[in-house]
Structure 1
Amino acid sequence: MNRVVGAVRTAWWWTGSLMGDHDYSRYVEHLRRNHPDAEVPTEREYWKARYADADTNPGARCC
């Protein structure tokens, strides 16, 4: 049973990674590590800026 639960959790995490679920947290870690004086955007601001860039540069997105 533990193996099944572990496999489901791994699959869920992997799927989330593909969908970008972890992108904001990785970005915040990057800012805090490399740019400690930079203001950290809210998650909403992050996604809005990310998709605004994709709209102005369609080559930046995968689909």
Structure 2
Amino acid sequence: MGRLASRVARAGRQIGWYWGSLMGDNHYRRYVAHRARTHPGEPVMSERDYWRMRYRASEVQPRCC
């Protein structure tokens, strides 16, 4: 019974990781890691500002044609 519970728990964690990745839960963490790796010592946007910037970038801009 222990093996079955272990497999179920592992499957649950994998599904949770996939769902979180799909929904964007880890985007800010990836951004912070990237900034620390590529621009050490520089300030990092707050999570609130990051999501605001992402939301504005995804808005569709009206076009004339």
The question of a shared fold, defined as TM-score above 0.5 by the shorter chain, is answered with yes
Find 2:54's aligned residue among 50, 54, 57. 50
Distance 1:13 1:33, change over 3 A: same
The 4+ residue runs of structure 1 with deviation greater than 6 A are none
Identity of matched residues, %: 46
Matched, 1:35 2:42: no
RMSD between aligned alpha carbons?
Answer: 1.2
Larger Rg over CA atoms: 2
- Unmatched segments (≥5 aa) in structure 1: 58-63
- Unmatched segments (≥5 aa) in structure 2: none
TM-score (norm 2): 0.80
Counterpart Cα distance in 2 of 1:19 and 1:11: 12
What SS does the aligned partner of 2:43 have? coil
